[in-house]
């Protein structure tokens, strides 16, 4: 493996989805404040964005969801 090959060895290919390796500690979650978007809440709970929106639509999301507007 050349040095240029090594430079890109750890990067995912164009067809792969890069995993979210964020570690959500209590302090990081509290730093978000009292309100955050559903996509961030989904990552904290280990859910996909689609699953989070589906749960929210059925009023089954693990925390309270505030709805603004018609969407």
Chain segment 19-29, per-residue pLDDT in tens: 556 789 999 99
pLDDT at site 70: 73
pLDDT at site 22: 74
pLDDT at 9 over 50: no
* Residue 51: Cβ within 10 Å count: 13
Q: Tell me the CA distances in angstroms from 64 to 41, 55, 68, one per residue in order.
A: 11, 11, 13
In contact, 61 and 46? CB cutoff 8 Å: no
Q: Which of 4-13, 18-27, 62-71 has the highest mean pLDDT?
A: 62-71
pLDDT at site 68: 86
pLDDT at site 69: 82
pLDDT at 8 over 50: no
pTM over 0.75: no
Burial class (CB in 10 A: 0-12, 13-18, 19+), 44: middle
């Amino acid at each position: 493996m050349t040095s240029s090959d090594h430079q890109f060895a750890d990067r995912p290919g164009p067809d792969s989805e890069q995993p979210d390796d964020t570690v959500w500690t209590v302090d990081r979650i509290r730093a978000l404040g009292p309100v955050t978007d559903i996509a961030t809440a989904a990552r904290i709970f280990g859910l996909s964005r689609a699953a989070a929106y589906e749960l929210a639509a059925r009023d089954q999301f693990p925390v309270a969801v505030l709805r603004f507007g018609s969407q």
